[in-house]
Amino acid sequence: MSDLSKKRRGLGIFIGLIVVVAIAAVAVTALLTNVFERKSEGRSPYLRLVEVNEDTTDPAIWGKNWPKQYDGYKRTAIATRTRFGGHGGSEALPEEKIERDPWLKRMFLGYAFSIDYRDRRGHAFMLSDQEQTERQTKPQSGSCMHCHASIMPVYRELGDGDALAGMNKTHAMSYQELNKMVHEMGHAHPVSCVDCHDPDTMQVRVTRPAFIVGVQRLAESDAPVPAIPSIDIWRKGSRSKPYDPNVDATRNELRSFACGQCHVEYYCSSDFPLTFPWSNGLKMEDLEKDWDETKLTSGARFYDYKHKESGAEILKAQHPEFELWSQGIHARSGVSCSDCHMPYQRDGASKVSDHWVRSPLLNVNRACQTCHHTNEKELLARVDSIQQKNFDLLQRGGTALMGLLDAVQEAKSAGATSEQLKPALEFQRKAQWRLDYIAAENSMGFHAPQEAARILAEAADYARQGQVEALKLAK
């Protein structure tokens, strides 16, 4: 090889090395730049473009600062459905439950739910669906807006700055009167960002006065609360101040408390202010005991309505998801509502909660498989098996309740008096409370499968006992 060839080869190698080094330098620089950008993004996950405060109830304004979360929030308007729940159609209002299960209509005779009782829809519809329901043809209390509008500024206005005092006035107002006030003040939005987040820090919090009072009563009881360890810690302290969920609860507990502000059992009518029945605990029997010990302003034992056929004093369950969840394995394992219904998702360097609140069955990868390392088909099969069993028990309970009502009618036709029917009607009250507790709860038993099955078994048992008592009088 000539000297010239050697020089050319050496020059080529040298140039090649320069190119390789240059490419490597560019790659390393790009990597470092990306890392720096991701770290910066992680330290500053959002940029405040507009100021928000306690009176900012319009989620679109919050969305200017937190567009990722707002994009998810808007998706709650998308129709979703699972086999045992939700609304998957395109009609203006969801399908009627009372048309699909006629025994529900008969169970609610004497109450507005016998007029209109529909499948659930996403949070985006929680105010409009309430405004459009045919139950509005009957007198409705202003208390009903507690969980359907971003109502805290209205409470503060009514209470001269005291939200609890304001809320306690709304039961005496008609729904139409309070709804008009909400619209006129510019707060006619469904549940909004300010209801669950501190506008200054964005910390998860609770705002609803009824929940704060209810959880304080729970803390002051001696009921076991394995799903809420902060209450046990508070109980062991001086108790010089009431339990404050925004101070004493852990962040993970608040990720369930925020949902528990509305997804609960409560009294919501005109006789006394909105009430969560948690003075004796969170089990179904604890709530029943609370209502049995409650008096109406007339001095009579509490009831939601008198059944039109039988005359029984009935307890109407609302939607006790929080209470049933508290009795299940997920709650006892520290799994919050948000972990399943608003699971974390990656967006660049940020980890954000998915604000498209929906069934975990529609989001198995992020909602379930982060803990359950099983394939999706198997997980869905397990859930379906649980829900099918509870659905079957629910239907059998409904059949048993219809048998009780038929027997009461026979007894009345045979001349039985109201006094003679009391034992049967007490069984109806207990049976119907248990049956409705699971029918109204939005998981078809999944939030606590064995507890739900136990409750439904008791419902059928009490219904059959009531049927026997009534048939004794029909002879």
Residue with tokens 């669906």: 129
Residue 401 lies in a domain: no
Residue 160 lies in a domain: yes
- Strands 85-87 vs 305-306: parallel, antiparallel or unpaired: unpaired
Beta strand ranges found along 71-169 (DSSP E): 80-82, 85-87
Residue 324 lies in a domain: yes
pLDDT one-digit tens code per residue, 269-325: 999 999 999 999 999 999 999 999 999 999 999 999 999 999 999 999 999 999 999
Neighbours of 225 (CB within 10 A): 20
Confidence band (pLDDT; 50, 70, 90) for 129? confident
Half-sphere exposure (CA, 13 Å, Cβ side) for 116? 13
Among the residue ranges 194-198, 250-254, 403-407, 471-475, the one predicted with the least confidence is: 471-475
Name the residue with higher pLDDT: 53 or 118.
Answer: 53
Q: What is the mean pLDDT of residues 229-242?
A: 97
Residue 434 lies in a domain: no
Q: What gap in Å lies between CA 168 and CA 156, rounded to an integer?
A: 11
Q: What is the mean pLDDT of residues 422-441?
A: 97
Check if the beta carbon of residue 105 is closer than 8 Å to that of residue 402: no
Q: Which run of H or E residues covers position 351? A: strand 350-353
Helix axes 284-293, 418-440, angle to 10 degrees: 140
Give the per-residue pLDDT at 130: 86
pLDDT one-digit tens code per residue, 143-164: 999 999 999 999 999 999 999 9
pLDDT one-digit tens code per residue, 74-113: 999 998 888 887 654 445 555 666 677 889 999 999 988 7
Beta strand ranges found along 252-349 (DSSP E): 305-306, 313-314, 344-347
| Partners of 44 in the β-ladder | none
> Rg of the Cα trace of the chain?
28
Give the per-residue pLDDT at 4: 60
Instruction: Report how many domains make up the chain.
Output: 1
Residue 132 lies in a domain: yes
- Give the residue ranges of DSSP H helices in 296-417: 321-325, 329-332, 337-341, 364-367, 376-413
Q: What gap in Å lies between CA 468 and CA 475, rounded to an integer?
A: 11
Residue 358 lies in a domain: yes
Residue 106 lies in a domain: yes
Range of the domain at 79: 59-362
- Flag whether pLDDT at 9 surpasses 80: no
Q: What gap in Å lies between CA 126 and CA 363, rounded to an integer?
A: 22
Give the per-residue pLDDT at 446: 97
Give the per-residue pLDDT at 359: 94
Give the per-residue pLDDT at 113: 73
Q: What gap in Å lies between CA 302 and CA 313, rounded to an integer?
A: 8
Confidence band (pLDDT; 50, 70, 90) for 7? low
- Flag whether pLDDT at 2 surpasses 70: no
- Flag whether pLDDT at 19 surpasses 80: no
Going by the DSSP 8-state scheme, the letter that residue 327 receives in this structure is T
Residue 242: give its domain's CATH number.
1.10.1130.10
Residue 445 lies in a domain: no
Give the per-residue pLDDT at 474: 84
